[in-house]
Amino acid sequence: MGDIAAWKSALLTLDDVPFFDLIRGYLGDIRTPFNKQRLVDELAGFLGRRENLQTLTAYLDATDRKLIAAISSLNEPTAAELTSFFDGELSFAELHGILLNLEERLIVYRFQDASARRLAVNPILSPALEPFEHDASILYPASAAQGETDLPRSRAALDDVALAAAAAFVERRADLFKADGSFRKKAAEEAASIFPADDFERAVRTLRGLGALRLAAAGVVVDGARLRSLAEASPFDRRAYCAAALCASELSPAHDLFGESGNDADEDEAAETGARRAGSPSFGRVPRERLSSWARLFVSFLDALDPALSYPPTTLARIMDTRERAAAAPRKRRWEARDADPAAGLRDGTDPSAFRRAAVDSLVAVGLLERADDGACRRTLLNPAAPVPVENAANPVIVLDAAFSVVAYPEIGFIDALSLGAFLDVREAGRAVRYELTRDSAVRGFDRGISVDNMLGLLESLARRPVAQNVRWSLKEWFERYSSVCVYHGTVLVVAPDRRYLMQASPIAELVRRELAPGVYLLSARDETEAAKALSKAGVDIVAIPSDGPSGAEATELRLPVFPAITRHRAENPLAASLAAVRAASPAGGAAGGAAEESGESKKAVDAKLAELRALLEAKRLPKDQRDELAARIDRRVVLSAGQLVGAAVRYEKLEAKGLDYVGKVRVAEQAIAAGALVELFWRGPKGEPVRALGSPLALDKSGGEVELIVDPAPRGEALRVPIGKISLLRRIKRSMFGE
């Protein structure tokens, strides 16, 4: 709530016309000579009267209370911030209209601080409004969550097991994508037979967003190093990153898959690898900064939720709004002067409601939120503070049989599931994932340098039982055959017999993948330059690098942590405490938004009061326009006492015109153009469908015998030309008396 001096100052700096209109509306005719300061004091006295406060409080409806609570809770927001907060719930025009009404009723005022015009609640009304200002349940209604209190760790479609299974599928189908980035039909059909519903597409979009897919000569391949890095994150953080990646891909589905994902990505790539790797451009990857900031935002959002409560979409959107602004605050200084919505940068310029919808959908998809049939969501009990689960040594997490089939249970760790996918083919993905060991899948594993012993070791450790003899035998047999005929690709080092002692030196020894023949070594170096550097470190001063040598390598060396742990600042999240109050107020199973609702009794009292005022007005002998305006004021709940029903106190203003009132519509349009005010207009489209537009009127243009209103629409688009005759309703959106 603002302070009284600020409120008085805001009124005193009003232009004369709105100032005197306001004063006359409440105090009646102004006697001259007048003193503005005294008039404001008188107005304060008028409002402070007990009976007026009571009437004003009784007049408050649910929307009024929501706005009052929001302005208090958001700590003197700008109109843009308030619009963002109610995005998807109240249109700009609706919100603007409500704010004008609250200003007219002296409940809300605007003031200018160093950077922007802000909204505040009138401090004079503090005794009456305080209960609403601090009631979080008005803004964040929630209900006690139904069903199990012991939520499982995951019921998600996109959990670790599904993500690893999708990676395994891509691993096998490097030809998955067409040049335009869509799936090849055959591969898509195969994926559809393995993965339920659209899980695969969602998982692939997540992998892309995470940067876990990249282009190689063979097609799109999985970046194993990046996924391993993701596996090192806690399950909670991992899901937050996945949600961020999925959300980004939801918001830009038309991303050019085979192109670059933006300059940011290039910079990231360079930062991570030290140099761009030839042949492995990013593939729909979300820039690191955005991925991290969104993951942090989601964690902060989840921290604000109480697992015992179920939140409707509007509440979730509002909570997300507060978290967006909190997350954007440290960067605010960069754009506060030019950016009306401080979180717009954080959202990468996406529409707030689209962003929040995609964010919630993504959090549901990864299992951090669970959605009920009515659309309300609750937070799952995946505990961010829990350490990475250590598998119970007694329980197997896979079952391997002699038919070469491996069933992985959902309890399997992400890194283990990824490791399985490196040498198994995924056959069926659901709650459990069924893999199959085939000759081709084993060869794929051998190609990645996984030995038979490693494969057997992993299978046995996860299954807690020995691998069947025929499977073991087949793996060894396949490796024998694999090793007997090889095509190598990479950097080869040839060392003369008298220099082979160099191979003992660690810089070189670390690079050796395999000794192909005496003195012939296959290196894991990315290219010959890296090999040369290692040789140089070992003291070799002349290194031959024939020009026709191979270049490039597949290994990814990430020098920066790709998916750093997400730090939490619970203490800095005041919303959590506020929402805890919601929980305390929430009756079991009932809605916790009751304070925002009007009771039947108070509504009756308000109706009685309004009826009384209307009767008084009816009894007065006034010109029609004054009577109409006063009646409208009663309806707008501006009139608190009978003393305000003074004809001379009002100035009639036509704000809207309908249907056949052609002249009225022209007049409203002309006034709006002159005042630079926005207009809202309604008409029927070519097929009779209702059309609504909001925008700045530019001109009235007579063309072909018909007058057309030209409007620059908001949000910006092609100018509209609508014949006045066709407009069914034209409304001038009044400007705020405080100058907006």
Partner 1 sequence: MANDPSNPLIIQSDRTLLLDVHAARSEEARSAILPFAELEKSPEHIHTYRITPLSLWNAASAGFTPGDVARVLQEYSRYDVPRGVVDGFADVMGRFGLVRMVEAPVNPAVPLSPDIPEELLLVCDVEAVAAEIAASKTLAKYLYPVSGGFGLRLTDRGTVKRELIRLGWPVKDEAPLLGGEYLDVPLRTAMLDGRDFAPRDYQTEAARSVVGDGGPGSGYGVIVLPCGAGKTVVGMVVMSLLKTNTLVLTTNVAAVHQWIDELIDKTGLTADQIAEYTGDSKSVAPVTVATYQILTWRPDKEAEFPHFRLFRARPWGLIIYDEVHLLPAPVFRVTAELQAVRRLGLTATLVREDGAEADVFSLVGPKRYDVPWKDLEAKGWIAEAVCAEIRVDLPENLKIPYAVTDQRNKYRVASENPLKRAIVRQLAENHPEDRILVIGQYVRQLEELAKDLGAPLITGKTPNGEREEIYGSFRRGEVRIIVVSKVANFAIDLPDASMAIQVSGSFGSRQEEAQRLGRILRPKKRNSYFYTVVSRYTVEEEFAANRQKFLAEQGYKYSIQHWTEEELNAAPAPRLLPERTI
Neighbours of 390 (CB within 10 A): 7
Nearer to partner 1 (CB atom), residue 108 or residue 368: 368
SS3 424: coil
Q: Is 334 in the site for partner 1 (CB under 8 A)?
A: no
Query: Could you tell me if 479 and 442 are in contact, meaning their C-beta atoms sit under 8 angstroms apart?
Result: yes
Nearer to partner 1 (CB atom), residue 281 or residue 413: 413
Q: How far is CA 119 from CA 28, 73, 79, 278, in A?
A: 27, 11, 7, 54
CB of 157 to partner 1, least distance (A): 9
Q: Is 148 in the site for partner 1 (CB under 8 A)?
A: yes
Pairing of strands 309-310, 369-371: unpaired
Selected from 275, 402, 494, 660, the binder of partner 1 by CB under 8 A is 402
Short-list 250, 317, 321, CA closest to 286? 250
Selected from 150, 180, 498, 601, the binder of partner 1 by CB under 8 A is 150
Nearer to partner 1 (CB atom), residue 94 or residue 480: 480
- Residue bearing tokens 């959902």: 410
Task: Identify the helix (H) or strand (E) that includes residue 491.
Answer: strand 491-494
Q: Is 399 in the site for partner 1 (CB under 8 A)?
A: yes
What is the C-alpha separation between 730 and 669, in angstroms, rounded?
8
CB of 480 to partner 1, least distance (A): 10
Nearer to partner 1 (CB atom), residue 403 or residue 719: 403
Q: Is 307 in the site for partner 1 (CB under 8 A)?
A: no
Q: What angle do CA 53, 57, 61 make, to 5 degrees?
A: 160
Nearer to partner 1 (CB atom), residue 407 or residue 443: 407
Selected from 97, 131, 345, 430, the binder of partner 1 by CB under 8 A is 430
CB of 713 to partner 1, least distance (A): 42
What is the C-alpha separation between 308 and 379, in angstroms, rounded?
8
What is the C-alpha separation between 408 and 140, in angstroms, rounded?
41
Site for partner 1 in 600-639 (CB under 8 A): none
Neighbours of 563 (CB within 10 A): 25
* CA dihedral for 664, 667, 671, 672, sign (positive or negative): positive
CB of 432 to partner 1, least distance (A): 5
Query: 257 — phi, psi (to 5°)?
Result: -60, -35
Q: Is 388 exposed, middle or buried (0-12, 13-18, 19+ CB in 10 A)?
A: middle
**Cis bond leading into 715, ω under 30°?**
yes
The residues pairing with 144 across neighbouring beta strands, listed in sequence order, are 309
Selected from 155, 500, 514, 569, the binder of partner 1 by CB under 8 A is 155
Site for partner 1 in 65-94 (CB under 8 A): none
DSSP classification of residue 177: B
Short-list 164, 736, 231, 608, CA closest to 422? 164
Stretch that binds partner 1, among 399-407, 489-497, 499-507, 529-537 (CB under 8 A): 399-407
Q: Is 410 in the site for partner 1 (CB under 8 A)?
A: yes
Selected from 329, 403, 509, 719, the binder of partner 1 by CB under 8 A is 403
Binding mask 456-485 for partner 1 (x = CB under 8 A): ------------xxx--xx--x---x----
SS3 595: helix
Short-list 454, 526, 542, 451, CA closest to 276? 526
Q: Is 30 in the site for partner 1 (CB under 8 A)?
A: no
Nearer to partner 1 (CB atom), residue 428 or residue 712: 428
CB of 397 to partner 1, least distance (A): 12
CB of 175 to partner 1, least distance (A): 23
Selected from 45, 152, 457, 550, the binder of partner 1 by CB under 8 A is 152
CB of 378 to partner 1, least distance (A): 15
Number of residues that bind partner 1 (CB under 8 A): 29
Selected from 134, 178, 439, 583, the binder of partner 1 by CB under 8 A is 439
Stretch that binds partner 1, among 34-42, 398-406, 491-499, 519-527 (CB under 8 A): 398-406
Query: 274 — phi, psi (to 5°)?
Result: 85, -30
Selected from 404, 446, 521, 738, the binder of partner 1 by CB under 8 A is 404
Q: Is 197 in the site for partner 1 (CB under 8 A)?
A: yes
Q: How far is CA 376 from CA 2, 364, 369, 373, 534, in A?
A: 35, 11, 10, 7, 58
Nearer to partner 1 (CB atom), residue 276 or residue 481: 481
What is the C-alpha separation between 298 and 29, in angstroms, rounded?
56
Amino acid in the structure at residue 309: L
Selected from 93, 144, 432, 450, the binder of partner 1 by CB under 8 A is 432
What is the C-alpha separation between 606 and 661, in angstroms, rounded?
33
Residues near 274 by beta carbon (within 8 Å), at least 6 away in sequence: 557, 559
Nearer to partner 1 (CB atom), residue 163 or residue 672: 163
Structure token pair of residue 552: 């490039």
Nearer to partner 1 (CB atom), residue 476 or residue 603: 476
- Residue bearing tokens 């029609």: 624
CB of 435 to partner 1, least distance (A): 12
Selected from 190, 201, 428, 597, the binder of partner 1 by CB under 8 A is 428
CB of 304 to partner 1, least distance (A): 26
Selected from 431, 499, 636, 651, the binder of partner 1 by CB under 8 A is 431
Stretch that binds partner 1, among 20-28, 164-172, 413-421, 432-440 (CB under 8 A): 432-440
CB of 445 to partner 1, least distance (A): 17
Q: Is 381 in the site for partner 1 (CB under 8 A)?
A: no
What is the C-alpha separation between 351 and 11, in angstroms, rounded?
34
Short-list 360, 1, 321, CA closest to 139? 321
Q: Is 196 in the site for partner 1 (CB under 8 A)?
A: yes
Say how many CA atoms lie within 13 Å of 223 toward its Cβ.
Answer: 29
CB of 44 to partner 1, least distance (A): 59
Q: Which residues bind partner 1 (CB under 8 A)?
A: 148, 150, 152, 155, 196-197, 399-405, 407, 409-410, 428, 430-432, 434, 439, 468-470, 473-474, 477, 481
